[in-house]
């Protein structure tokens, strides 16, 4: 049984982390599967949107603590192995945001520590109303410093710091209010709601969405003036595309566009 299930339906590829007995922890095997699969999908022009879910009763419980405990047996106490693990996890998070396609998290049960980081890293997220989110490492003496990077770039600083220092969960309704997820829906409609969002995004001009995603993350790190200068150039390049001209003409002529991509 594959640790990561891949199913393509139309222009949407659905990924499901498939280690329910470990609450889909980001083990060495899971991280490798995610990175390899995402690398492959980045070259797949038939895939316009990716969804990411978890099998079993939870989305993702973060790092695999049993594997981390075994790393401590090394002569250096595990320092090199821990650094390698966190670097590999960061590389997966970076890969999610550098994908040409939007990635939508489909979240249920719990999303904790690096699992919460994964939700915060995805471009969008839909969660069941009974889902709980937390960065709970502080409860076992391990501050969630790497999950903090994604979390603090998604929600207000004081709310992020409270979650990080108390280790307490927040419900899906609060996660919506804070901007961690896009929406909370009944558990029985979670898959359908996530697919509907994915299908809607996939119906747009794929090249435009790809251009826009790259620009979105690039401009965030810039000053306002630099961001406007950069995105102005991006808009120019987008306007020069044949499919964009077709989209504008179709709008003016009150018809559906005929796109080549």
16-21 long-range contacts (CB < 8 A, ≥24 apart) are 16/52, 16/53, 16/54, 16/55, 17/52, 17/53, 17/54, 17/55, 17/59, 17/60, 18/55, 19/55, 20/54, 20/55, 20/56, 20/57, 20/58, 21/56
Output the pLDDT for position 126: 98
| 192 Cβ contact list (under 8 Å, min separation 6) | none
Please report which residue ranges of 205-241 form alpha helices under DSSP H: 206-220, 224-239
Query: CA-CA distance, 123 to 104, in Å (whole number)?
Result: 6
User: How far lies 223's CA from each of 98, 155, 230, 231, in Å?
Assistant: 21, 20, 10, 12
Output the pLDDT for position 55: 98
For the stretch 68-120, pLDDT in tens is: 999 998 889 899 999 999 999 999 999 999 999 999 999 999 999 999 999 99
Reported confidence tier of residue 259, pLDDT bands at 50, 70, 90: confident
Supply the mean pLDDT for the chain. 96
| pLDDT reading at 37 higher than 80 | yes
| pLDDT reading at 129 higher than 90 | yes
Output the pLDDT for position 41: 98
Output the pLDDT for position 260: 85
């Amino acid at each position: 049984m594959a640790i990561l299930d891949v199913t393509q339906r139309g222009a949407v590829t659905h990924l499901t982390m498939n280690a329910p007995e470990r609450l889909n922890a980001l083990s060495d095997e899971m991280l490798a599967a995610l990175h390899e699969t995402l690398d492959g999908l980045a070259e797949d022009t038939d895939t316009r949107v990716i969804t990411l879910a978890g099998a079993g009763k939870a989305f993702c419980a973060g790092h695999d603590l049993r594997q981390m405990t075994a790393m401590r047996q090394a002569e250096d106490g595990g320092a090199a192995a821990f650094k390698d693990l966190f670097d590999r996890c960061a590389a997966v998070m970076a890969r999610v945001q550098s994908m040409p396609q939007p990635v939508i998290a489909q979240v249920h049960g719990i999303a904790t520590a690096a699992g919460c980081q994964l939700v915060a890293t995805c471009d969008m997220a839909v969660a069941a109303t009974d889902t709980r989110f937390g960065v709970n490492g502080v409860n076992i003496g391990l501050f969630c410093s790497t999950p903090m990077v994604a979390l603090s770039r998604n929600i207000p600083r004081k709310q992020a710091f409270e979650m990080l220092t108390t280790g307490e969960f927040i419900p899906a309704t609060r996660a919506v209010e804070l901007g961690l997820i896009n929406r909370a829906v009944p558990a029985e409609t979670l898959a359908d709601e996530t697919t509907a969002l994915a299908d809607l995004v996939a119906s747009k001009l794929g090249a435009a969405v790809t251009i826009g995603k790259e620009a979105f993350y690039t401009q965030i790190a810039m000053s306002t003036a630099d961001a406007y200068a950069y995105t102005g150039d991006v808009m120019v390049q987008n306007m020069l595309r044949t499919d964009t001209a077709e989209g504008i003409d179709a709008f003016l002529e009150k018809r559906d566009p005929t796109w080549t991509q």
